[in-house]
Amino acid sequence: MTRTLHLAVAAYGVGGPGQHGLWKDPRVPSNASIDVRHYIRQAKLAEAALFDAYFIVDSQFITADYPSHYLNRLEPLTLLSAVATHTSHVGLVATASSTYNSPFNLARRLASLDQISGGRAAWNVVTSFDTGTSRNYGLAEHLDYATRYGRALEAVEVVRGLWDSYEADAFPASVADNTFLDPTKLHALEHHGEHFDVAGPLNVSRSPQGQPVIFQAGVSEEGRDLAARVAEGIYAPGGSVEQAQAYYRDIKARAAGYGRDPDHVVIFTGAAPVVASTDAEALRRSREIYDEDDDFDRKLGFLGRSFGAHDFSTHDLDAPFPDVAHLAEKGGRTAGQAIVERAAAQGLTLRQVVQTLTEYRPSPFTGAPGTVADAIETWYRDEAADGLNLNFRTLEEFERFTGDVVPLLQERGLFRTEYTSGTLRGHLGLPVPENRYTASRSRGDR
């Protein structure tokens, strides 16, 4: 496979993490997060710029302290089904929990999106970060880390098995032969595992890309292992270029260790570019954005997300950081443990933890168009990422990037100048998976 730069965009409506003040921007409609026309405009802009994918994040639990976009947003698969009818090439990535969905339901909904879009669907597999989600599904407790990731692995295996229910030529639809379905090309799964018992078959046929693409965002050991086993696209955490390179090497090596082709694991690093006429102007705007969002009480409230929605406002801000490590075990364990360990090592108070976690750090992709293009090229060529999953505060800022930075990437031969495929797998350089039953028949298995 010839390596090429990939670009995706994530939609956040009126403001996701770190964008607590975005809803106040007069350029952002107050109902943007539930206005399908807002998403369609974004997706069409991404497609006009030849982006690989359009990505919708999700969660199923909130408190009043969560970012504005979290409080009132559309369900991803419903949303992307509407977006699919207004686009023709850009990939459509939906986040859905393996912890709080049945594999059959997920397989059917994602296969339906894949059919509606003509082979552009993808599933971003999450295990549900928020511990409070369990109570929305009638469960007293959120599952522990090991159980959630074991369930996720099995869920992907079951979903992929269901997607193989029909072989590609299962529907001859021959009037002359009075044959709509070739029943020898329909297969029940009959899966009986640790977490799921699923008979199948699925009642949705294969799309032009064979199966939807699997995405995952693995940070913990369990998450990285799941990503290396099953993910075809990965949303990486970013950080410094050195941290991104270490993550990139680790995931590619793990994938190879599972007998997979590392080129078939496409790593997207999260990025929030700030583009202006000059570097100085971009840095000024970057600082302004930080100041617009610098709401301590909101940041304090959102800190609780890594600790089972714990209410930190009940603690003395200037006392040592409280002993809450146990609260992270069934939620954001990796992030929570890192926060606790850092606070203990540096003797930080609760106030100082909030301040240091959210201190001003300009994006490495901040500057004039040429500066931003240089940074993207460096990250790509130095194998810190195969591409970027971009986040923009407003449509105007997205348009600036697509109008000023993307052409520079194209001139340098880094990014496509036209779509050469109509499927997401085609954009990402991924093979179409062969139906397991077709492959078995080709091998002459009995």
3-state secondary structure 35-64: CHHHHHHHHHHHHHCCCCEEEECCCCCCCC
**C-alpha dihedral (76, 79, 85, 91), degrees to nearest 10:** -30
Phi, psi of 192 (to 5 degrees): -135, 100
Query: Strands 366-367 and 233-236, how do they pair?
Result: unpaired
CB atoms within 10 A of CB 108: 17
Same domain, 351 and 377: no
pLDDT tens digits, one per residue of 347-376:
999 999 999 998 999 999 999 999 999 999
346, 249: one domain: no
* Residue 285 resides in a domain: no
The per-residue pLDDT for range 104-123, each reduced to its tens digit, is 999 999 999 999 999 999 99
pTM of the model: 0.94
> Do 318 and 251 share a structural domain?
no
- Residues 57, 205: one domain? yes
Instruction: Give the model confidence (pLDDT) of 249-279 as tens digits.
Output: 999 999 999 999 999 999 999 999 999 999 9
Same domain, yes or no, for 212 and 230? yes
Are residue 185 and residue 91 in the same domain, yes or no?
Answer: yes
Which residues form the domain of 141? 6-279+362-442
pLDDT digits (tens, 9 = 90+) for 37-72: 999 999 999 999 999 999 999 989 988 888 899 999
> pLDDT-based confidence at 308, cuts 50/70/90?
confident
Q: Is residue 414 part of a domain?
A: yes
Work out the average pLDDT over 159-170.
97
Q: Does residue 249 share a domain with residue 203?
A: yes
Distance CA 260, CA 254 (A): 9
Whether 271 and 391 have beta carbons less than 8 Å apart is answered as yes
Q: Indicate if 223 and 338 belong to the same structural domain.
A: no
**Structural domain contains residue 150:** yes
Bigger pLDDT: 202 vs 19: 202
Q: Which of 339, 357, 375 is the last residue of a domain?
A: 357
Regarding whether 195 and 150 lie in a shared domain, the answer is yes
Q: Check: CB of residue 248 under 8 Å from CB of residue 236.
A: yes
Distance CA 174, CA 300 (A): 64
Last residue of a domain, one of 357, 373, 390: 357
- Domains: count for the chain: 2
Is 96 part of a structural domain of the chain?
yes
Specify whether the CB–CB gap between 293 and 20 falls below 8 A: yes
Which residues 6+ apart lie within 8 Å of 427 measured at CB?
A: 6, 52, 53, 89, 91, 419, 421
- Mean pLDDT, the chain, as a whole number? 94
pLDDT per residue as tens digits for the range 191-213: 999 999 999 999 999 999 999 99
**Quick one: 156 and 80 in the same domain?**
yes
Closest CA to 216 of 421, 55, 84: 55
Residues 227 and 95 in one domain: yes
In a domain, 289, yes or no: no
Name 90's Cβ contacts closer than 8 Å, sequence gap at least 6.
Answer: 43, 46, 47, 51, 52, 53, 54, 120
Judge if 82 and 129 occupy the same domain.
Answer: yes
pLDDT digit string, tens, across residues 26-40 = 999 999 999 999 999
Distance, in Å, from the CA atom of 46 to the CA atom of 435, rounded to the nearest integer, reads: 31
8 Cβ contact partners less than 8 Å away, ≥ 6 residues apart: 46, 51, 52, 53, 54, 55, 91, 93, 268, 387, 388, 389, 390
Please give the helix or strand (H or E) that residue 197 lies within, else none. strand 197-198
